[in-house]
Amino acid sequence: MTRVIAQGTFDILHPGHVHYLSDAASMGDELHVIIARSSNVTHKQKPILDDRQRRDMVAALDVVDEAHLGHETDIFVPIERIDPDVIVLGYDQHHDEADLEAALSDRGIDCEVARASPREPAYDDELLSTGRIIDRILERRG
């Protein structure tokens, strides 16, 4: 059985998230998703939704076998516990594959690192990012 991990913030679920998780699920038999804790999100604005709500929303998706909250101080703790065969990064996530592979190797975690495919908007007005959804809400209701 091939165990796959996908990870991210997953704030305000949208079609881009569904595509990423579906693509990740297609790379194995079991998909585990690690949801970043708000306290660990430093590369962009903090999530709107709280940690548990984001985890519960991701867990409700059919392609997800298990959804986990990330560790408060060490992002590798849940990876070690899940023991994946593949970690799938989103096509536009800020992680560098070589750096991640080196960090995994340093921790004795033997798994492949892959990238999900991009998803183009299905129509002109489709929003595929949380930031763009928030911008649209502010534009229309702010």
pLDDT digits (tens, 9 = 90+) for 15-57: 999 999 999 999 999 999 999 999 998 888 899 999 999 999 9
Q: What is the pLDDT of residues 110-138, one digit of tens each?
A: 999 999 999 999 999 999 999 999 999 99
Select the more confidently predicted residue: 42 or 4: 4
Domain that holds residue 34: 3-141
Q: Does the annotation list 10 as a binding residue? A: yes
CATH number of the domain that residue 128 is part of: 3.40.50.620
List CB contacts of 42: < 8 A, sequence separation 6 or more.
none
Record the pTM.
0.94
Q: Does the annotation list 92 as a binding residue? A: yes
- pLDDT the model gives residue 92: 87
Q: Does the annotation list 15 as a binding residue? A: yes
3-state SS, 110-131, equals CCEEEECCCCCCCCCCCCCCHH
- pLDDT the model gives residue 113: 97
Number of domains forming the structure of the chain: 1
SS3 call for 69: strand
Q: Does the annotation list 74 as a binding residue? A: no
Q: Does the annotation list 95 as a binding residue? A: no
